[in-house]
Amino acid sequence: MNDQPRSLASTLFPVGLLLIAMASIQSGASLAKSMFPIVGAQGTTALRLVFASIIMLLLLKPWRAKFTAKTLRSVLVYGMALGGMNFLFYMSLRSVPLGIAVALEFTGPLAVALYASRKALDFVWIALAIIGLLLLIPTGATETPIDLVGAGYALGAGVCWALYILFGQKAGAEHGVQTAALGVLIAALFVAPIGIVHAGTALLTPALIPVALGVAILSTALPYSLEMVALTRIPARTFGTLMSIEPAFGALSGLLFLHEYLSLAQWTAIACIIFASVGATMTMRRESKPLVAAD
């Protein structure tokens, strides 16, 4: 008699974690933009990851995990993908509005969803997500053109996001939430030299410390820990499709915090993306167990 409530709770739990993670990471991205004039996107990424790695190391104590050469490989790729995703996304924010940058970045998880899909119904939700993404991207003479370099950075972040999903799911299945801390540490070691070379002593500006801590918590420590838990509880294609709501969170965050106003077509896009996510959530209980990337 209690099987159905437990099944519903087990379905809604990872979905709720993803919603909280997405709201947190987009709010953090808006806050991070305030640091760009002082240390640039490169320095901002470095500070975010360094502070986040310290926080997560203290909280999760990942050194307790036991590694083999095989499992360490997954964690290393996951961490490097995480660092590349953060770095390229912040580079794109220098010239591309937040909501559109997230939409372009989403090509990564969308590709994962397309690759892993097996049922015809899955393609309905994916098609809706694609329509939403197309509407979010400004086209035509009346719209502001997108900076091609910034768009390229966002698409590169999407490639890293796809690797983050695939290798994060495998590493998370092997080491649980501790993988998030290890991944952020690897990402910080990967990106910090770039930030140091670019920003130099500006990284030590005292006024930046509380802002950097806020960005680290909102954009990395909290959301990636929550995502790591969710990754091990839902299939890869469901995770990828659910993440289609990310552009909506980005667009709303840009509107609220950065005053980046949206057109009617872009609001329509948000509705398409949310509907696709709801559809994927409704069909998730009939899915198989969470997929783990094969060797």
Give the pLDDT of residue 291.
Answer: 34
In order, the DSSP letters of 210-269 are HHHHHHHIIIIIHHHHHHHHHHTTS-HHHHHHHGGGHHHHHHHHHHHHH-----HHHHHH
Give the pLDDT of residue 293.
Answer: 32
Least confident of 48-57, 68-77, 134-143, 221-230: 134-143
Is 288 a residue whose pLDDT tops 50? no
Give the pLDDT of residue 93.
Answer: 93
Give the model confidence (pLDDT) of 205-254 as tens digits. 998 999 999 999 998 878 877 877 887 777 766 676 677 777 788 888 88
Q: Are 75 and 175 in contact (CB under 8 A)?
A: yes
Return d(Cα 109, Cα 111) in angstroms, integer: 5
Give the pLDDT of residue 147.
Answer: 82
Least confident of 54-58, 120-124, 125-129, 174-178: 174-178
Cα 274 to Cα 74, 79, 269, distances in angstroms: 31, 29, 9
Is 193 a residue whose pLDDT tops 50? yes
State what percent of residues in the chain have pLDDT above 90: 26
Give the model confidence (pLDDT) of 85-124 as tens digits. 999 999 999 988 888 888 888 878 777 766 766 677 778 8
pLDDT band of residue 281 (cuts 50, 70, 90) is low
State what percent of residues in the chain have pLDDT above 70: 80
Q: How far is CA 79 from the centre of its chain?
A: 13
Give the pLDDT of residue 228.
Answer: 73
Cα–Cα nearest to 182, from 41, 190, 214, 32: 190
Return d(Cα 250, Cα 256) in angstroms, integer: 10
More confident call, 80 vs 249: 80
The mean pLDDT of 8-33, rounded to a whole number, is 85
Return d(Cα 120, Cα 101) in angstroms, integer: 29
pTM above 0.85, yes or no: no
